[in-house]
Amino acid sequence: MPEAKVQQPEEDEQLVSQALAGSQNAFRKLYDRYQKKICGLVGSMINSPEDTGDIVQEVFIRAFGSLDSFKGASSFYTWLYRIALNATTDFRRKQARRSQSVPEQPLSEIGRGELQVAAPGEEGPEGQLYRKELAALVSKALGTLSKEHREVMVLREINGLSYAEIAEVTGVTIGTVMSRLHYARKKVAETLQSWKVLDQEG
Amino acid sequence: MADRKFELTEEIIQRYYDGEVHGQERSKIEEALAADPASEKKLARYGRVSELIQLVGEASEADEFTARRNWEEISARLEKKQSKIPRRAAYWLSLAAAAVLLLFFIGPFEKAQSNELVIESIDCTYASFMLIQPETETGHTIIWLSDSDNNVNQ
């Protein structure tokens, strides 16, 4: 019986070469492969859902524009994540300049009940709303971290990168990644605990 | 000699949770965890925090429609960017061509005040430039410009 031919997905490096040769279709494949991860990364870093789409677009435009600088020494996605982190940093800088006069809601108000969420069943619109509100609260808790701590937390928990990959993307040592991650987890857990999102027992 | 008791530090628990331990160390940690409910609790807490953080990632993901719209925007911006350079060259070439035509048509009606024409800049990548002076009564000069990068001759 003849063996069924299974078409292997092209490697990222192959797609990069094709995109460099002018194939927008190859770049589209890279986009399809990584857009979700980049959305997750950007959205978790900036805490501004309405701006996430624009930044994701900017990330891929920048990536396409500098494809020729991708030498394949690292994996494509760690290279792409670095571009995404730079784009979020630029955005946060601009946002900080713009919103100097618009004070954020003080964190002390959060624990007074208006953002407290009850836990309905997992499925259905109520469940979705619950998850959405919970995500907004956790996002606020992430916002209490410094940019450096937030980066390692998001790259690990949302993008699932190993310590070595996080070190590569952020340009620090594995030891620093570990200590930042430990601090970030502790701080977020304490914050969520103080908002009664996470109970004492965990 | 008895083995020294394996100590489950926060650092070890974190590395274990993140899948950064292998082989023998992994077995040792699992053994120690089974004998230490407090450390197991810590491990469970790591899991709970992860679940919560991942909610933020999920909430940020674009739905199918938004993902397609984002791509359309990216694609349009890339095309615009790629066509920008030839368009700029074409703009300057057409300006230069207009200047040449102006000289050609207006020239016969006006006596030339000077034989000098200064071209200050030509904005294209590979331009060729040639002066053609046919032996005519008016003595006009034809300026021939070629942008080989865009296959345009004027």
Domain membership flag for residue A50: yes
Q: Do B59 and A135 touch (CB under 8 A)?
A: yes
Q: Looking at the structure, tell me whether residues A145 and A200 fall in a common domain.
A: yes
Contact A158 B56 (CB under 8 A): yes
**Cα atoms found within 13 Å of the Cα of residue B115, Cβ hemisphere only:** 6
Of the candidates B5, B64, B15, the residue with the CA atom closest to the CA atom of residue B36? B5
pLDDT (0 to 100) of residue A95:
82
Tell me the sheet residues that pair with B127: B147
Is residue A70 included in any domain, yes or no? yes
The pLDDT of residue B124 is 61
Distance, in angstroms, between A3 CA and closest chain B CA?
A: 35
Q: Which domain holds residue A76?
A: 10-99
Residue A1 belongs to some domain of the structure: no
Nearest to A36 among B48, B53, B61 (CB): B61
Lowest mean pLDDT among A41-50, A180-189, B57-66, B91-100: B91-100
Whether residue B3 is contained in a domain is answered as no
Q: Does B143 reside within a domain?
A: yes
- Express each pLDDT in A44-73 by its tens digit: 999 888 899 999 999 999 999 999 999 888
Report ipTM for this prediction.
0.82
In eight-state DSSP terms, residue A34 is: H
Domain boundary among A69, A99, A129: A99
Chain B neighbors of A163, CB-CB under 8 A:
18, 20
What confidence tens digit (pLDDT) does each residue in A156-197 have?
Answer: 999 999 999 999 999 999 999 999 999 999 999 999 999 988
Q: How many CB atoms lie within 10 A of CB A197?
A: 22
Let me know whether A202 and A124 are in one domain: yes
Q: Are residues A70 and A136 in the same domain?
A: no
Closest CA to B103 of B88, B119, B125: B119
Q: Which residues, at least 6 apart from B128, have a Cβ–Cβ distance to it below 8 Å?
A: B144, B145, B146, B148
Domain assignment present for B1:
no
Tokens for A2?
Answer: 């003849």
Residues 6+ apart with CB under 8 A from A61: B74, B77, B78, B81
Q: Is the pLDDT of residue B21 over 50?
A: yes
Q: In this structure, are A126 and A196 located in the same domain?
A: yes
In a domain, B118, yes or no: yes
Whether residue A128 is contained in a domain is answered as yes
In angstroms, the separation between the Cα of residue A1 and the nearest Cα of chain B is: 40
Instruction: Look at residue B2 in the predicted model and tell me its pLDDT.
Output: 45
pLDDT at A113: 41
Residue B73 resides in a domain:
no
Furthest C-alpha separation in chain B: 115
Q: How far is CA B124 from CA B75, B79, B92, B96, B127, in A?
A: 25, 19, 8, 12, 6
- Give the residue from A156, A165, A123, A67 showing the smallest Cα distance to B57: A156
Question: Residue A42 sits in a domain of what CATH number?
Answer: 1.10.1740.10
B78 belongs to a structural domain:
no
A146 is a domain residue: yes
Reduced to 3 states, what is the DSSP secondary structure of residue B145?
strand
Number of helices (H), then strands (E), belonging to chain B: the values are 4, 3
Is residue A54 one of the residues assigned to a domain? yes
Asked if B74's CB is within 8 angstroms of A31's CB, the reply is: yes
Provide the domain count of chain B. Answer: 2
Residue B89 and residue B141 share a domain: yes
Structural domain includes residue B79: no
Mean pLDDT (chain A) is 85
3-state secondary structure of B42: helix
Distance CA B33, CA B35 (A): 5
User: What 8-state DSSP symbol labels residue A147?
Assistant: H
Which CATH number is A202's domain given?
Answer: 1.10.10.10
Range of the domain at B146: 85-153
**Pick from A57, A135, A159: CB nearest B55:** A135
Res B138: pLDDT: 62
- A105 within some domain: no
* Position B69 in a domain: no
Nearest CA to CA, how far is A49 from chain B (Å)? 7
Domain tally, chain A:
2
Find the mean pLDDT for residues A11-39: 94
Asked if residues A140 and A132 have their Cβ atoms less than 8 Å apart, the reply is: no
In terms of domains, do A53 and A85 share one?
Answer: yes
Tell which residue, A44, A50, A52, has the closest CA to residue A143.
A44
Q: How confident is the model at residue B56, as a pLDDT?
A: 94
Domain boundary among A53, A71, A99: A99
The 10 Å Cβ neighbour count of residue A102 is: 6
CB atoms within 10 A of CB B72: 11
* B74 contacts in chain A (CB < 8 Å): 31, 57, 60-61, 64
Average pLDDT score over chain B: 77
Domain check: are B96 and B135 in the same one? Answer: yes
Measure CB to CB from residue B70 to each of A57, A157, A162 and give the nearest one.
A57
Residue A156 lies in a domain: yes
